[in-house]
Chains A and B, each alone.
Chain A
Amino acid sequence: MPKTLFERIWEAHVVRGEPGEPALVFVDLHLVHEVTSPQAFEGLRLGGRAVRRPDLTVATMDHSVPTLPGPIEDPLARAQLEALRANCEEFGIPLFATGSGREGIVHVIGPELGLTQPGMTVVCGDSHTSTHGAFGALAIGIGTSEVEHVLATQTLPQRRPKTLRLHFEGALPLGLTAKDLILGAIGQLGVDGGVGHAIEYTGEAIEALSMEGRMTVCNMSIEAGARAGMIAPDDTTFAYLEGRPGAPQGAAWEQALDRWRSLPSDPGAAYDRTVEIEVSSLKPQVTWGTNPGMVAPVDGAVPDPAAYDDPEERAAVERALEYMALEPGTRIADIHVDRVFIGSCTNSRLEDLRAVAQVVRGKQVHPSVRAMVVPGSAVIKAQAEAEGLDRIFTEAGFEWRRAGCSMCLGMNPDILAPGERCASTSNRNFEGRQGSGGRTHLVSPVTAAATALAGHFVDIRELVPA
């Protein structure tokens, strides 16, 4: 019986499966951060329970950390970060704290350390855990009660998700990125199109992506509502992992390769659903509304609510346009922005920063725009500085910050003021996400870079040499 990648990983990790009950799934890697863990550790203390497998657990500080140097001024953020430090010490969990040189966004450092590997189950109290699926892992975002459950038992009770194969036909046109690919897909699938499913992304356009690009795609699986998103491991995956601190070495590396090569879905394996998306005619994508499915090509326009037949959808679009202060029919390229944010677990890796540097080298950020680049980890920051990328950014007028979630979610000093409009490489354009009253447009790093220079959205294809 041909099997899918998902089925292989699932079956290899079921500790206990009784009919009618959720399966008990073993967790190979548990990533922990400051926001969704304090109540879980408190639960362990109240129950007199220990962390079962500290050796499969790692913590970092990302959501609440300021990206400017200096003391943490917010007393709540300080207390939360201090709680993580104390909890990790009490329960014996390795912590990459701010200033350790290894800290960063949880979904950036897992792969960077070589801890995320093909065939593994990965969980984290964060919905963007789906990112790790880029390595051919089953990676699931969980809530705090589940964080406590995994800490105490190293297992997670899970109803088996259905499988959805999202197949991309054709190759990505020049200048288009993984971000455009996934935003376009969410636009077609809808923000609840993946609910209850583990997505496997397939096709030539996926195979051609770097690991960074694959992480961008899998990262946004949750924005289609999916439980997980994954991509079959291949030589690109193995080349990324080789030599990383957490990856197998020597003979163990060769054994791991044999194991990993047997993971991809068999030809003819059955999925509960298959959706095909044509990408050779894809255009750069820009969101205009208040969820990631409200998206249009950069040469398109803001839609007219009157064009929607479904009254619920029409009302949602009307509400979104009111919040975003956009008139129906406005050309996307005519929308001006106040801020540009390049960062987040979606787009803050070295490849993203290099692509941005190529666009902005020797140019100047538009005088009406405040723009910042926030690397995903301390390691990426150091690498970028070694390559001189930081100089390119600062000379062009970008702020260059320390690693963290930064303005993706407004839990730290990096926030939009009410009414400010931002081109952002992050993953969510929800109301108030980047600051109460702030207006977010999701784009790729290169579109964000070109937008910072022009002050309004720009079709990046016009900048690509023919």
Chain B
Amino acid sequence: MKALRQVTGVTAVLDRPDVDTDQIIPKQFLKRIERTGYGEFLFFDWAQDPEFELRRPEYAGAKILIAGRNFGCGSSREHAAWALQDHGFDVVIAPSFGDIFRQNSLNIGLVPVQTDEARDLQRFGGQELTVDLETMEITTPDGRSIPFSLGEHERHCILEGLDEIALTLRHGDEIAAYEARTVAPIDTLALPA
């Protein structure tokens, strides 16, 4: 996973509530078996509209997205988080997130920052914000610092770019002990063909 300590970059604003992952990356792009190359298809259907917010010239090269509440609701497709990251975003700031999208983002090092200040921060669209994972603060162009929270474990994983699977495999003995003391309720290998 990509390690991140601090992100300073242009901020884009998408002020819509309940943006679902079908919009972030429409279904026709889910047939690819690769993990990269989704950035150009980000918000594909909405981006056909010349007036679409994220097409504004002042948002070019944006690294931080400010979104509305319940951003990333719906489908579990991690392709949505891949597309945002591949497009150049390192951080999404929103009042709230869909649970699966939030976890998918954490797992690839796309930082989901949940804060009630998200709406107020929209006025910095087109300007640079700094999001610092060490101090857990957002710094605005007018010099304000806005604290945010993230689970300590999640923060540590992103700061260090840790492989969550390797972390879990360190506890392989505990998994084996669990398996030894429980009886598996099923055996899919024994199903009739």
Contact = CB atoms under 8 A, between A and B. Distances in A.
A411 to B, nearest CB: 5
B73 A225 contact: yes
Contacts of B35: 39, 42, 144
Given A20-B153, A39-B35, A144 B78 contact: yes
Contacts of B165: 47, 49, 148-149, 152-153
Contacts of B145: none
Interface string B71-111: 00111111101000000000000001111100110011000
A6 interface: no
Given A16-B171, A143-B104, A246-B186, A291 B18 contact: yes
Interface in A387-424: 409-411
B171 A24 contact: yes
Contacts of B68: 312
Given A20-B152, A142-B100, A431-B45, A410 B189 contact: no
B188 A56 contact: yes
Given A38-B33, A94-B188, A433 B27 contact: yes
A120 interface: yes
B111 to A, nearest CB: 15
B188 A58 contact: yes
Contacts of A56: 184, 186, 188
Interface stretch (A73-81, A163-171, A373-381, A447-455): A73-81
Interface in B161-180: 163-165, 168-169, 171-172, 174-175, 178-179
A153 B169 contact: yes
B192 interface: yes
Contacts of B187: 55
A28 B174 contact: no
A274 to B, nearest CB: 20
Given A22-B151, A246-B186, A432-B45, A126 B76 contact: yes
Contact of A15 (B69, B74, B107, B171): B171
B69 A192 contact: yes
A341 interface: no
Task: With a 10 A CB-CB cut-off, give which of B22, B27, B98 has the most chain A CB atoms.
Answer: B27
B178 A192 contact: no
Contact of A428 (B16, B45, B74, B163): B74
A145 interface: yes
Given A20-B152, A49-B165, A141 B100 contact: yes
B104 A195 contact: no
Contact of A39 (B34, B96, B172): B34
B34 to A, nearest CB: 7
B103 A430 contact: no
A154 B175 contact: yes
B188 A57 contact: yes
A49 to B, nearest CB: 7
A413 to B, nearest CB: 12
Interface in A128-177: 129, 141-146, 148-149, 152-155, 157, 159
A252 to B, nearest CB: 9
A192 B18 contact: yes
B107 A115 contact: no
Contacts of B189: 54-55, 94
Contact of A153 (B18, B23, B81, B175): B175
A296 B86 CA distance: 39
A206 interface: no
Contacts of A145: 78, 104, 107-108, 164
A278 to B, nearest CB: 26
A156 to B, nearest CB: 9
A94 B189 CA distance: 6
Given A143-B77, A143-B78, A152 B70 contact: no
Interface in A21-43: 21-22, 24, 26, 28-29, 35-36, 38-39, 42
B32 interface: yes
B81 A143 contact: yes
Interface string B13-38: 00111101011001110111111000
Contacts of A57: 188
8 contacts: A26-B182, A42-B35, A55-B188, A100-B193, A155-B168, A195-B70, A195-B96, A410-B28
Interface of A: 15-16, 20-22, 24, 26, 28-29, 35-36, 38-39, 42, 47, 49, 52-58, 63-64, 74, 76-77, 79-80, 83, 93-94, 100, 113, 115, 117, 119-120, 125-127, 129, 141-146, 148-149, 152-155, 157, 159, 191-192, 195-196, 222, 225, 227, 245-246, 248, 256, 291, 312-313, 315-316, 319, 409-411, 428, 430-433, 436
Interface of B: 15-18, 20, 22-23, 26-28, 30-35, 45, 68-70, 73-79, 81, 96-100, 103-104, 107-108, 151-153, 163-165, 168-169, 171-172, 174-175, 178-179, 182, 184-193
